[in-house]
Amino acid sequence: MMNVACLTFNPVQVNTYIIWDDTLECVIIDPGCSNPAEEAQLVDFIDRKSLKPVRLLNTHGHFDHIWGNDFVSKKWNLPVEAHPYSQEIMERGPSQGAMFGIEVPSAPTIGKEIHDGDKITFGHSELDTIHVPGHEPGSIIFYSPEDHFMVCGDVLFNGSIGRTDLYKGDHQQLIDGIKEKVLPLPEQTTIYSGHGIATSIANEKQNNPFLQ
């Protein structure tokens, strides 16, 4: 059984997820830490739990979700893993930040590509990769059928969906992807989003106004 913890970082309030199992190997998803204090908070959590980070995963390439990539990559000697379509978006991080009046450092390049259908393995655990573009061309979800949860980045939120007015966003593509690839999953599946509180497939089917 996997454990999921969430730490919220940076001015855009990104949810960074740490997932581990009984081996204490863990993956870090979307490190949003933007300053030394937030970096220390991430390290402290990992140290207190005696975890061993073995993979650095990104759901997509927007600046707020990759802010801590360089720190995590160097701290634990891990390559950045993401969908190849996210590389261009990652490179636009400083200009993305400037749109919001935020100074953002350049991000390291993707060191290991993740594609639709790939299995993310660590410890005794495994996550499925589901490619759901629309918010960003490389947006991917990490899904555990066994433990009934997903980390979906900015694909889907409690009562909302990812914005599609940013560079290379596509509203209809996102809606189609959610309806075809996400909503058919078991209704008890917990959805851990890139911002805000967790939700579930059942709740979004019933209450999300974008999906009715």
167-170, long-range: CB < 8 A, 24+ apart: 167/89, 167/92, 167/96, 168/88, 168/89, 168/136, 168/137, 169/134, 169/135, 169/136, 170/133, 170/134
pTM of the shown model: 0.97
Where are the domains positioned within the chain?
A: 3-102+113-211
**Domain 3-102+113-211 indexed as CATH 1.20.1730.10:** no
Each residue's pLDDT, cut to its tens digit, for the chain (212 residues) gives 999 999 999 999 999 999 999 999 999 999 999 999 999 999 999 999 999 999 999 999 999 999 999 999 999 999 999 999 999 999 988 888 787 788 888 878 999 999 999 999 999 999 999 999 999 999 999 999 999 999 999 999 999 999 999 999 999 999 999 999 999 999 999 999 999 999 999 999 999 999 99
